[in-house]
């Protein structure tokens, strides 16, 4: 499995690997450099980074916090639309397609305000922390008020999401998304946004860039990036402006790619090339780029993605929920595309489920086993996601890294039994989000013994926030 270069031009501050420990954690088992090691001490410095790491420490040092189970680097959820969580369950009634699901999603979007979105997103991000997620990539396109009017602060929705992540205790990369058109349209000009889509649109990519450039979020838990919603929603002539904005800042750039065959057909019909080729032609495919879904690709598309250094975020639970299809993940991997994982529409929020789905979907499609090891799948859920989101220094349990980690219990009905050396296999192929016992972000204990330390009642917060959005 490919790993992208872990550089980060946004990173600030030194990596104080030799600073004195402020907190000490003793892990029954920890996943270090792809190996399960027993009895590991993780020291955390006052800057919230990992200091010394010691293995085979038989007894927890005095004052150490004991983490029973397998401790992993924090999980990175590389693709999220927080408000889609409000659709859970409701869209499972009857049949329908991606496009009918999209209508339900628009109805929910229409009811959100900055206040109600903060309340919902805080609960959703708290659910993520309970699932071991320490960093989320929020692919954010719900920018404006109903009918498209600007809020007093045109970035009010973005600020709501950043505040929600802070109050749920996780890191966020706010991927501000250009969404300008409702379809590719004749001559590639882009069809005008529908009434519902006016909330998403800045009108032009230049106006998008001006709004995003004015967004200066506070906090060391947040970084910003850009996104092209899709070739459906950003006309070809506007793609370069978004790509250039990200290029100038060395920022992550994400794009929904070929989730539906209808997108490919429309693009081929108007531009005479696939969405992948169109993005390549306009400078969107780069080593900082992550293509989300990448479900319906041809051989040339796969080669282009690999050659350009573009990563791919697979969202298997959403792709199966929406009957999208199974993307060519093994071929993309072989072509050199680094893989990451996202819960996208939040049909479930469980990166262990996403990780095993990558392998198990491929087993069904190919009728062969062993496409990826558990370690490779964990790497996609950790290092792959963090790199895609511009937080490469959260990727591994190593001195100098941000002290972001999570512990999976190995004593539940799902995980009890196997010998310790199989802990990674158990985490990927048997554990669920419900087995997460601890989540630590920047050295702060955000989930302790399965309970969120900042949000008292996460199910209650979700229920309250979602009930407020019902018609
Ligand atoms: Zn998406």
What does each of the 471 residues of the chain score in pLDDT, given as a tens digit?
776 754 444 444 333 445 677 999 999 999 998 999 999 999 999 999 999 999 999 999 999 999 999 999 999 999 999 999 999 988 887 777 777 878 888 888 889 999 999 999 999 999 999 999 999 999 999 999 988 999 999 999 999 999 999 999 999 999 999 999 989 987 777 888 888 889 999 999 999 999 999 999 999 999 999 999 999 999 999 999 999 999 999 999 999 999 999 999 999 999 999 999 999 999 999 999 999 999 999 999 999 999 999 999 999 999 999 889 999 999 999 999 999 999 999 999 999 999 999 999 999 999 999 999 999 999 999 999 999 999 999 999 999 999 999 999 999 999 999 999 999 999 999 999 999 999 999 999 999 999 999 999 999 999 999 999 987
Q: Residue 195: its pLDDT value, please?
A: 81
For residue 330, the CA-to-ligand 1 centroid distance in Å is 21
Whether the Cβ atoms of residue 67 and residue 438 lie closer than 8 Å to each other: yes
Q: Domain 23-73+395-452, CATH 3.40.50.450 — does that match?
A: no
Whether the Cβ atoms of residue 270 and residue 185 lie closer than 8 Å to each other: yes
Residue 317 pairs with which residues in a beta bridge? none
Interatomic CA distance for residues 50 and 220, integer angstroms: 16
Question: Which strand ranges, in their side-by-side order, compose the sheet holding 405-408?
Answer: 50-54, 35-45, 21-32, 65-73, 405-408, 436-441, 444-448, 451-452
For residue 398, the CA-to-ligand 1 centroid distance in Å is 31
Domain locations in the chain? Answer: 23-73+395-452, 75-392
Residue 50 pairs with which residues in a beta bridge? 44
Q: Residue 13: its pLDDT value, please?
A: 39
If phi over 0 gives left and psi between -120 and 50 gives alpha, with beta otherwise, what is residue 467? alpha
Q: Where are the beta strands (DSSP E) in 370-410?
A: 405-408
Q: Is 254 helix (H, G, I), strand (E, B) or coil?
A: strand
Helical segments of 144-260, H only: 156-168, 205-213, 236-249
Within its chain, how far is the Cα of 333 from the centroid?
18
For the packed helices 156-168 and 114-130, what is the interaxial angle rounded to 10 degrees?
30
Residues 6+ apart with CB under 8 A from 438: 67, 71, 406, 407, 445, 447, 448, 449
Interatomic CA distance for residues 298 and 275, integer angstroms: 11
Q: Residue 15: its pLDDT value, please?
A: 39
Q: Which residues are catalytic?
A: 293, 344
Interatomic CA distance for residues 152 and 162, integer angstroms: 17
For residue 87, the CA-to-ligand 1 centroid distance in Å is 14
For residue 73, the CA-to-ligand 1 centroid distance in Å is 24
Whether the Cβ atoms of residue 205 and residue 241 lie closer than 8 Å to each other: yes
Interatomic CA distance for residues 25 and 42, integer angstroms: 5
For residue 84, the CA-to-ligand 1 centroid distance in Å is 9
Q: Residue 7: its pLDDT value, please?
A: 45
For residue 101, the CA-to-ligand 1 centroid distance in Å is 13
Buried b (16+ CB within 10 A) or exposed e, 245-284: bbeebebbbbbbbbbbeebbebbeebbebbbbbbbbebbb
> pTM (2 decimals)?
0.95
For residue 66, the CA-to-ligand 1 centroid distance in Å is 37
Within its chain, how far is the Cα of 199 from the centroid?
23
For residue 350, the CA-to-ligand 1 centroid distance in Å is 16
For residue 81, the CA-to-ligand 1 centroid distance in Å is 6
Q: Residue 14: its pLDDT value, please?
A: 39
Nearest Cα to Cα of residue 23 among 58, 60, 56 = 60
Whether the Cβ atoms of residue 328 and residue 348 lie closer than 8 Å to each other: no
Whether the Cβ atoms of residue 331 and residue 362 lie closer than 8 Å to each other: no
Whether the Cβ atoms of residue 154 and residue 211 lie closer than 8 Å to each other: yes
**Same CATH topology for 23-73+395-452 and 75-392?**
no
Helical segments of 188-285, H only: 205-213, 236-249, 261-271, 275-281
Cα angle 399, 401, 407 (rounded to 5 degrees) comes to 95
Whether the Cβ atoms of residue 304 and residue 280 lie closer than 8 Å to each other: yes
Interatomic CA distance for residues 202 and 198, integer angstroms: 8
Helical segments of 258-401, H only: 261-271, 275-281, 299-308, 316-321, 329-335, 351-366, 374-379, 385-388
Interatomic CA distance for residues 312 and 381, integer angstroms: 12
Architecture of domain 75-392: Alpha-Beta Barrel (3.20)
**No. of H helices and E strands in the chain?**
15, 16
Residues 6+ apart with CB under 8 A from 30: 36, 37, 40, 42, 70, 71, 72, 397
Interatomic CA distance for residues 128 and 319, integer angstroms: 19
For residue 428, the CA-to-ligand 1 centroid distance in Å is 23
Nearest Cα to Cα of residue 300 among 357, 250, 258 = 258
For residue 329, the CA-to-ligand 1 centroid distance in Å is 17
If phi over 0 gives left and psi between -120 and 50 gives alpha, with beta otherwise, what is residue 449? left
For residue 105, the CA-to-ligand 1 centroid distance in Å is 12
């Amino acid at each position: 499995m490919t790993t992208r270069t872990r550089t980060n031009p946004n990173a600030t501050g030194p990596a104080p690997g030799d600073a004195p420990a402020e907190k000490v954690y003793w892990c029954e088992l920890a996943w270090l450099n792809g190996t399960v090691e027993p009895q590991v001490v993780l020291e955390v410095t006052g800057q919230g980074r990992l200091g010394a790491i010691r293995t085979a420490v038989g007894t927890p040092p005095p004052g150490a916090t004991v983490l029973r189970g397998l401790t992993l680097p924090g999980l990175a959820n590389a693709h999220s639309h927080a408000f889609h969580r409000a659709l859970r369950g409701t869209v499972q009634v009857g049949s329908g397609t991606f496009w009918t699901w999209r209508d339900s999603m628009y109805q929910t979007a229409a009811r959100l305000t900055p206040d109600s979105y903060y309340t919902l997103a805080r609960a959703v991000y708290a659910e993520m922390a309970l699932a071991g997620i320490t960093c989320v990539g929020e692919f954010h396109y719900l920018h404006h008020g109903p009918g498209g009017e600007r809020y007093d602060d045109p970035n009010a929705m973005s600020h709501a999401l950043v505040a929600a992540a802070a109050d749920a205790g996780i890191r966020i990369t706010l991927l501000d998304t250009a969404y300008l058109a409702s379809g590719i349209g004749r001559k590639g000009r882009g069809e005008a946004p529908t009434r519902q889509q006016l909330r998403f649109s800045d009108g032009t990519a230049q106006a998008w860039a001006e709004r995003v450039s004015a967004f200066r979020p506070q906090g060391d838990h947040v970084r910003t990036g850009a996104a092209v919603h899709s070739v459906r929603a950003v006309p070809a002539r506007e793609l370069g402006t978004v790509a250039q904005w990200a290029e100038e800042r060395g920022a992550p750039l994400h794009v929904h790619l070929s989730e539906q065959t209808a997108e490919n057909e429309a693009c081929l019909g108007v531009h005479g090339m696939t969405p992948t080729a169109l993005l390549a032609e306009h400078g969107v495919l780069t080593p900082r780029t992550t293509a989300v879904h990448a479900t319906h690709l041809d051989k040339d598309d796969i080669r282009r993605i690999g050659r350009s250094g573009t990563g791919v975020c697979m969202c298997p639970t959403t792709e199966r929920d929406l009957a999208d299809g199974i993307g060519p993940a093994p071929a993309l991997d072989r072509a050199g595309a680094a893989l990451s994982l996202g819960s996208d529409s939040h049909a479930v929020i469980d990166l262990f489920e996403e990780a095993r789905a990558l392998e198990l979907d491929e087993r069904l499609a190919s009728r062969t086993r062993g496409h990826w090891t558990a370690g490779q799948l964990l790497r996609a859920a950790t290092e792959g996601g963090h790199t895609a989101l511009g937080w490469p220094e959260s990727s591994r349990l190593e001195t100098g890294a941000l002290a972001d980690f999570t512990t999976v219990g190995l004593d539940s009905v799902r995980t009890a039994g196997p010998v310790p050396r199989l802990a990674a296999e158990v985490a990927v192929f048997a554990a669920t989000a419900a087995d997460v016992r601890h989540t630590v972000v920047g050295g702060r204990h955000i989930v302790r013994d399965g309970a969120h330390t900042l949000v008292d009642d996460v199910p209650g917060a979700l229920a309250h926030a979602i009930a407020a959005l019902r018609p």
